[in-house]
Amino acid sequence: MVEAAGQQPLHSLDQAFHFVVNSCTHAWEVIGPGGQLHPELFIQSNGHLLLEGLLAVVIGYLLLQRSYKPSSAKKDADLTEQEIDQLCDEWKPEPLVPDVPADRKLQAPVITSEVGRHVTMGGKRVINMASCDFLGIAGDPVIKDMCRKTIEKYGVGSCGPRGFYGTIDVHLELEARLSKFMGTEEAIIYSYDLATVPSVIPAFANAKDVLICDEGVSWAVQNGCVLSRAKIRPFKHNDMADLRRVIQKEAADHAKQRKPLNRRFIIVEGVYAGSGDIAPMDEIFKLKEEFCYRLVVDESNALGVLGKRGRGACEHFGLEPQQVEIVTATMGNALSSVGGFCCGNHEMVDHQRLSGLGYCFSASLPPYLATAAIGALDVLESKWSGLQERLQQNAITMRSLLHDIPGLKMIGSDADSLSAVIHLQAKAAQQIVDHVLDSSSICISCQYRSCLELKQTEPTIRLVVTAAHEQQDLQQAAAALRQAARLHGLQ
């Protein structure tokens, strides 16, 4: 009896095992190859009609169902007025702009007077070496009187873009004067200088084209290259050997991939805003001609500074206006106004009147600012020889005073001695700028580069020399920088 009782559980397990094995075997005979429910046999036996019928039933069921409505039953009781007020008082929204650490806050001084050789900042009169008024004519009384008369005649606005009732006779006069001064067939003006180059480049280049640009070009030029969606190929700053290498590599890639013909541009600045050195336009022109490229030159910091007539770096190196396809410049520097312009042949300018975004969709330049630029051209043409001699002498003197200050490294070489924009490299650039302003009443600036730009550099100290500066201003600035460098442990 004991033995029989011990064997009963084992017998039950054996039966269960055989049952599972038999069930699996029978199921495989049904659904396996040759079985009644095998997919192939099932379909051949019109079994798909059963599946289609089931699918139709499911679809009909879903169509007859009512739309889902959330339950209207209140799970929580309504809040009282006191509870609502308490929640509102306790709620602390995230700030729209996060707090800036104290060591990264930049309190820019505010100028409370008109721009000139001296300006008023923080209630005191300081020497201005931060503004790009190269010719020192920003406060010219004749130009101010011309602007006053224009305001009395036209008001302060232009009422629309150039193509929509925004064209005034002074706009046409300014374009004619600019083309005559630059020696080109035609010129076109834009109401904002930072929108000039970003409008010009996309008007002529698209995603199929190639832009070979200096890695030291300004943000406006870089922005124009990006907006064009063209292929950007930067070369090392002012390195003609690297420019040739990039051009040859692009030519080899183009031939290897057998791409169709496209437009190809070399883009540089006459005087680079971020470094103050001069582009070797003669060498760039030779490469442009050798490899059949078009040339785009931004003369914003060279106009009114270089050249026999003040036309810029192209004239300084002996290039004729017709040898450069596209020339742009701001009117906010030497012309003491606002906006920018582009000049060249008729076809190039006319194309921008329908394709230049800043021209088509922005309100045109206020008439009195066009008059101010015309007045600046009058001064530039009538007094250029005297202004040029004074400006270039001041630039040479300033560079000679700064080149041997320990701890401050001047960017550029002797070939850049005529540039009115001077950059100094220093470890404590912003502290030196602040010290010079506080202790010596001299306004200079510290230039930073965005992380979005092609070339990342440390902040630099920027000085701008104008024709209005006296020798004592230059000597005082050099002495203040030398003292600041010594106090900050750079010597």
Matching residue, tokens 């924009």: 421
**Separation of alpha carbons 222 and 48, rounded Å:** 64
Matching residue, tokens 């008729």: 346
* Residue of 456, 490, 483, 469 lying closest to 422 (CA atoms): 469
Domains and CATH numbers, the chain: 111-138+385-487 (3.90.1150.10), 141-382 (3.40.640.10)
First to last CA, the chain: 110
* Residue of 270, 317, 297 lying closest to 419 (CA atoms): 270
Do residues 333 and 133 make contact, with C-beta atoms less than 8 angstroms apart? yes
* Residue of 225, 459, 182 lying closest to 341 (CA atoms): 182
pLDDT tens series, the chain, 491 aa: 444 444 455 566 677 767 777 777 766 666 666 665 566 666 666 666 777 788 888 888 888 877 666 665 555 567 888 888 898 999 988 888 877 776 566 677 788 888 888 999 888 999 999 999 999 998 899 999 999 999 999 999 888 899 888 999 999 999 999 999 999 999 999 999 999 999 999 999 999 999 999 999 999 999 999 999 999 999 999 999 999 999 999 999 888 887 777 899 999 999 999 999 999 999 999 999 999 999 999 999 999 999 999 999 999 999 999 999 999 999 999 999 999 999 999 999 999 999 999 999 999 999 999 999 999 999 999 998 899 999 999 999 999 999 888 889 999 888 889 999 999 999 888 899 999 999 999 999 988 887 778 777 888 999 999 999 999 999 999 999 999 988 876 66
Q: Which alpha helices (DSSP H) does 208-270 contain, by range?
A: 219-227, 240-257
Task: Using CB atoms within 10 Å of the CB of residue 141, give its burial: 0 to 12 exposed, 13 to 18 middle, 19+ buried.
Answer: exposed
